[in-house]
């Protein structure tokens, strides 16, 4: 049987009462967190998203039957005077821990089945179960804090851009399919049988058109859709902070975004990052960190020590160099004391990552050189390697040879694994970097053609334009990624604002004039009408909030995410649709 609220009106949230409220009546509405029946006294913790308050039921014959039937997750209304807790019952873990409500009235507004997991207890629950019962998962403190954090971050973004004269403009959700990268989600048109809209992978073309339209400064908290394979930092639908600026250089974009990050961090309760952020070229990032999204919470750069082994007696390294390869080295901070078994495990791990072998070297406690190739390479050569590799007395040097990109990539993976194992990647520390001047194009062996490393609207570096004809792979782009703690949280560029150059890039991408007109004709036409130089960026809101919340997966900062197989376990989507709906859309399914 269920009672109803009647004339009771909430006076406080469950996190609001303080000692200043003692002596006043209060009405709380919320969920029963737990019940403790001590015989003469019954304690009820009542919870909402603002906090928890203790309610006590004493020798009240009318209330005790109601209190005794309460169970976790029942929805209740509680009324009574606020009292001071005795000194020995104060709960310092709660903001309301010095007071309680002496219940004078309790209404059960709704009962609850027994939840499939304990909502407020810190117990291990499978992610699939959490996602199936997402409405219960969202009642928990952790998820509610994450959603509140996301709200605060989003509000700070809107306030910041408004203060800097940006316009928030919505772009279409039903648009033209212009696939270049991930697959589009297609939406069939009922009124145009056999034709389709696409959900936007990005507002890219529309925000550039807004610059042509003279809007000057645009932003949008944009929903985007990509039908691609998923992982922890990807979802089929996601949210990005989309930004575009007319007459803007990359440095101007950097300045705006760095100030935005300071505002966001302040809103999230973190110390704002110092600016300007570090700038690293793509070439340097790949060489020194083995990745285009370096984690700079620990330095541990990769060094090229090829010169040490160019004429060495160690044939493996010497021959690799003479064949056009390199010898690269990683100094592992504080790892000199690794045991032989641990060193063997490192070698095995390197082989598992694709290396043909891994060489190590270090200084012993007496200053002598120790190495897996001591006899083959000699102490003098190895001592030079330790010096060039900037190895301290407490450090360990790891070396590999071969193709420059593969060598750095391998050591880059080891760098992150070893840094994580040594707890050098403090989740409460935030290190930003701009990675700049990516290659404009990269070769796709499968399709046997060039593809854009970012997107086909990215402008080449001015001095590299002349290379487009004969050495397109050597052309650098006016592009930049914003990296935070080893995660790419944004990417942008200066855009092509000249129609002739844009057509040239399409040609290099093996997009014919006919195809370019079919897919991008409206945009190419717009470029004819006084397009200003413009630059922009898109930041992943989900990734940014996950880092601020110190969560490993963006699913934990999205209210209703999909699984890694793009399934909504709560609503059971995707699902079959009625045959009549398919007929109206002139569609049929196979099988």
Q: Is a pLDDT exceeding 70 seen at residue 539?
A: yes
187: buried, middle or exposed (CB in 10 Å: 19+, 13-18, 0-12)?
middle
Confidence of residue 228 (pLDDT cuts 50, 70, 90): confident
Among 359, 394, 425, the domain boundary falls at 425
Domain at 413, CATH number: 3.30.1360.30
Mean pLDDT of the chain: 94
For residues 472 and 510, is the Cβ–Cβ distance under 8 A? no
Domain end residue (candidates: 425, 446, 480): 425
CA atoms within 13 A on the CB side of 41: 7
Inside any domain, residue 248: yes
| pLDDT (0 to 100) of residue 120 | 81
Q: 419 and 557: one domain?
A: no
Q: What is the pLDDT of residues 257-311, one digit of tens each?
A: 999 999 999 999 999 999 999 999 999 999 999 999 999 999 899 999 999 999 9
**In this structure, what DSSP letter does residue 573 have?**
B
17-65 per-position pLDDT tens digit: 999 999 999 999 999 999 999 988 999 999 999 999 999 999 878 899 9
Q: Are residues 180 and 302 in the same domain?
A: no
> Stretch 174-183: mean pLDDT, rounded?
81
> pLDDT per residue over 545-558, tens digit each?
999 999 999 999 99
Place of tokens 């409220």: 21
The model's pLDDT over 367-412, given as tens digits with 9 standing for 90+, comes to 999 999 999 999 999 999 999 999 999 999 999 999 999 999 999 9
Integer Cα distance of 139 and 134 in angstroms: 9
Is residue 582 one of the residues assigned to a domain? Answer: yes
The pLDDT value recorded for residue 180 is 62
Query: Do 131 and 85 lie in a common domain?
Result: no
Q: Give the pLDDT mean for 98-117.
A: 96
Tokens read off for 148:
């509140």
536 within domain boundaries: yes
396, 332 contact by CB (below 8 A): yes
Domain containing 324 equals: 298-425
Instruction: Give the pLDDT confidence score for residue 5 in this predicted structure.
Output: 63
Rounded Cα–Cα distance for residues 271 and 486 (Å): 19
Q: Quick check: 181 pLDDT over 70?
A: no
Lowest mean pLDDT, pick from 144-148, 182-186, 244-248, 262-266: 182-186
Cβ burial 391-412 (10 Å sphere, 16+ → b, else e): beeebbbbbbbbeeebbbbbbb
Q: Do residues 180 and 250 share a domain?
A: yes
Question: Above 90 in pLDDT, residue 560?
Answer: yes
On whether residue 490 sits in a domain, the answer given is no
- Rounded CA-CA distance 400/116 in Å is 51
Task: Assess whether pLDDT exceeds 90 at residue 233.
Answer: no
What are the residues facing 451 on neighbouring strands?
A: 442
Q: What CA–CA distance (Å, rounded) separates 207 from 85?
A: 58
The percent of residues in the chain predicted with pLDDT above 90, rounded, is 91
Distance CA 138, CA 132 (A): 11
Nearest to 154, CA basis, from 75, 240, 90 = 240
* Claim to verify: residue 188 and residue 222 sit in the same structural domain: yes
591 band by pLDDT with thresholds 50, 70 and 90: low
Q: pLDDT by residue (tens digit) across 198-225? A: 999 999 999 999 999 999 999 999 999 9
Mean pLDDT over 97-108 rounds to: 96
């Amino acid at each position: 049987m269920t009672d109803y609220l009647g004339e009771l009106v909430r006076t406080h949230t469950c996190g609001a009462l303080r000692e200043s409220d003692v002596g006043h009546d209060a009405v709380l509405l919320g969920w029963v967190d737990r019940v403790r029946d001590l015989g003469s006294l019954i304690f009820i913790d009542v919870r909402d998203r603002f906090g928890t308050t203790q309610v006590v039921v004493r020798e009240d014959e009318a209330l005790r039957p109601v209190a005794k039937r309460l169970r976790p997750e029942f929805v209740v209304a509680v009324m009574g005077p606020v009292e001071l807790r005795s000194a020995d019952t104060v709960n310092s873990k709660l903001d309301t821990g010095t007071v309680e409500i002496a219940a004078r009235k309790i209404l059960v507004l709704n009962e609850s089945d027994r939840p499939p997991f304990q909502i407020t207890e810190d117990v291990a629950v499978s992610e699939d179960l959490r996602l199936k019962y997402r409405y219960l998962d969202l009642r928990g403190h952790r998820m509610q804090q994450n959603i509140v954090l996301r709200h605060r971050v989003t509000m700070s973004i809107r306030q910041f851009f408004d203060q800097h004269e940006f316009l928030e403009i919505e772009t279409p959700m039903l648009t033209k399919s212009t696939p270049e990268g991930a697959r589009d989600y297609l939406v069939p048109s009922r009124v145009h049988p056999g034709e389709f809209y696409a959900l936007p992978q990005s507002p890219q073309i529309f925000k550039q058109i807004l610059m042509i339209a003279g809007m000057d400064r645009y932003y949008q908290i944009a929903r985007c859709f990509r039908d691609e394979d998923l992982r922890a930092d990807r979802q089929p639908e996601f949210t990005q902070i989309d930004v575009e600026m007319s007459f803007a250089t990359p440095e101007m974009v950097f300045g705006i975004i760095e100030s935005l990050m300071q505002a966001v961090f302040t809103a999230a309760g973190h110390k704002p990052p110092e600016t300007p952020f570090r700038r690293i070229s793509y070439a340097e990032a790949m060489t020194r960190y083995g990745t285009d999204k370096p984690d700079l919470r620990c330095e541990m750069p990769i060094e090229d020590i090829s010169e040490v082994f160019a004429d060495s007696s160690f044939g493996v390294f010497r021959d690799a160099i003479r064949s056009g390869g390199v010898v690269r080295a990683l100094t592992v901070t504080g790892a000199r004391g690794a045991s032989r078994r641990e060193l063997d495990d490192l070698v095995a791990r390197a082989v598992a990552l694709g290396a043909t072998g891994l060489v190590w070297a270090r200084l012993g406690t007496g200053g002598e050189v120790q190495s897996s190739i001591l006899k083959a390479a000699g102490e003098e050569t190895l001592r030079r390697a330790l010096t060039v590799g900037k190895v301290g007395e407490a450090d360990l040097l790891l070396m590999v040879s071969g193709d420059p990109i593969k060598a750095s990539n391998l050591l880059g993976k080891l760098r992150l694994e070893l840094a994580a194992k040594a707890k050098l990647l403090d989740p409460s520390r935030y290190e930003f970097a701009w990675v700049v001047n990516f290659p404009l194009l990269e070769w796709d062996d499968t399709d046997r053609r060039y593809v854009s490393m970012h997107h086909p609207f990215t402008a080449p570096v001015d001095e590299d334009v002349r290379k487009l004809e004969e050495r397109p792979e050597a052309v650098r782009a006016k592009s930049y990624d914003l990296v935070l703690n080893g995660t790419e949280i944004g990417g942008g560029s200066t855009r092509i604002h000249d129609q002739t150059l844009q057509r040239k890039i399409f040609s290099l991408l093996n997009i014919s004039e006919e195809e370019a007109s079919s897919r991008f004709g409206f945009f190419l036409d717009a470029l004819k009408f006084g397009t200003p130089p413009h630059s922009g960026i898109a930041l992943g809101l989900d990734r940014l909030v996950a880092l601020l919340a110190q969560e490993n997966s963006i699913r934990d900062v999205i209210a209703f995410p999909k699984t890694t197989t793009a399934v909504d376990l709560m609503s059971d989507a995707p699902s079959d649709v009625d045959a009549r709906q398919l007929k109206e859309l002139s569609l049929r399914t196979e099988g």
